[in-house]
Chain A
């Protein structure tokens, strides 16, 4: 693994480990899900590391109880199981409860989109952006690289709200230089300014957006790229002002298309602000994917290979 490729989970957990050394008010819970970086936490913080077993519902409930006692809690599991097996726990104990209470529970879901490409539909996570976004009082963070994931640590401790942190399952390349400072309240990063066309993406799809923009640049077209990483909440006015300057907006997400995820969010902003741009959405079709194949092949099968996106520009 070279210096420019890393899993988001290891990057984040390494930072959490450092914080746990300084701060006794941090608990790390897992539903029997690991990471190389987690071994140090397991070994060094035996009383503040709890493996609740393969029990995502209880993971969220135990995390709630600890947060009620004022602890900052990380609750770690596979994204699809955390967000869907324990959805009602998230809604009742975190979203409802957090309306009038400080509850610092950081749900870390690993395996966004088809990052577990070869494991089939049970491990693909196409729904979490939509279903978490619909809950009031929860922060939804979807980083596109490990720099961003690790830089989130301070925010995760400072902002005492429930958060869902959607991490890719694979080691992926760095987009942001190590020194990057993120504006979490703004919630998006303009990676490229463009002319006429802008791609809005989240998570790993920002890598695709950058590739497509590069391919366009090779043909002398400048395409904008906006990485929207705080799907809840972000500065709507500020992103609307950016989107207004384009004639064509393209959204790409690793989730079901037109089901309330990133694309719906962008379309809503377009409507609210009378933005006249043409909007094209890319994502997974309304069906599950059973064929055992690599990520890029799954995109191609669902009509959003790089070339499919490039064809729109």
Chain B
């Protein structure tokens, strides 16, 4: 049994650690990194994702492609906590001595790809899923995209292929934080109703509160055991800059940085 309270505590801890990383490296896109924390926590601490921190590339692992690379710094503390790399790396972020950078690359244990350029992850994951299936593997391929990322046409080339090829081992999670760089997606290139669009392409779709660990866990656990022959999408409704009131209300929060006094205050109030 997964204890949701434990997951919630982890999420709070990850938030603080992410804020600390941002204070060390202001280039970290902190608002993007705060919206997907519960997704990472459910995957790694909720027994959804199969991994081995001591052998990050072991063949039986589930693959996790983080297509919204700029929002993945909040995964660093989790990977360090689980032993993918030494926790000391976290304090060295952004220095020439550290492997940790503002946008993760595949030299970091636990990251499959070099992301940062949007719209590549889902198509690449389709290739991984085809390859695993050809070998009769039981692994799943998880992908994290942002909702703004769905503006990229290449994503929809992959959406079409995934259902046509019946990639049942492919699970896309959309961090639907509703804001891209210049404001709300509804004012830029509105894709709502999003789930209807995926269903029209013959995907299985489910929408949850992306900060409710119980809902995320239940949905991912169902998807993990689903035997249908369709790819699956979890639309996680999230808040960009979640947990930081000052960021949440700001349509331009994508490019905002927080100063270290603000960060110290936030961490103190989270105790």
Contact = CB atoms under 8 A, between A and B. Distances in A.
Given A48-B134, A66-B131, A69-B128, A57 B114 contact: no
* Chain B contact surface mostly: helix
B154 A65 contact: no
A68 B125 CA distance: 10
B126 A62 contact: yes
Contact of B123 (A27, A65, A88): A65
B87 interface: no
Nearest to A96: B114
Interface residues of B, number: 29
Interface stretch (B158-166, B203-211, B244-252): B158-166
Interface of A: 24, 27, 47-48, 50, 52-53, 55, 57-58, 60-71, 88-89, 92-93, 96-97, 100-101
A62 B154 contact: no
Interface string B111-123: 0111011011011
30 contacts: A24-B134, A27-B134, A52-B157, A53-B160, A55-B157, A57-B119, A61-B122, A61-B127, A62-B123, A63-B127, A64-B120, A65-B124, A65-B126, A65-B127, A65-B130, A66-B128, A68-B113, A68-B128, A69-B131, A69-B132, A89-B120, A92-B116, A92-B117, A92-B120, A93-B113, A93-B120, A93-B124, A96-B114, A97-B106, A100-B106
Q: 5 shortest A-B CB distances, which residue pairs? A: A65-B127, A61-B123, A69-B131, A58-B157, A62-B127
A114 to B, nearest CB: 29
B107 interface: yes
A57 B161 contact: no
B130 A62 contact: yes
B153 interface: yes
Most buried by A among B106, B127, B157: B127
A48 B131 CA distance: 9
Nearest to A63: B127
Nearest to B129: A65
Nearest to B112: A68
A159 to B, nearest CB: 20
Most buried by B among A63, A71, A89, A93: A93
Contacts of A65: 123-131
Contacts of A50: 130, 165
Nearest to A75: B127
Contacts of A57: 119, 123, 153-154, 157
Nearest to A47: B134
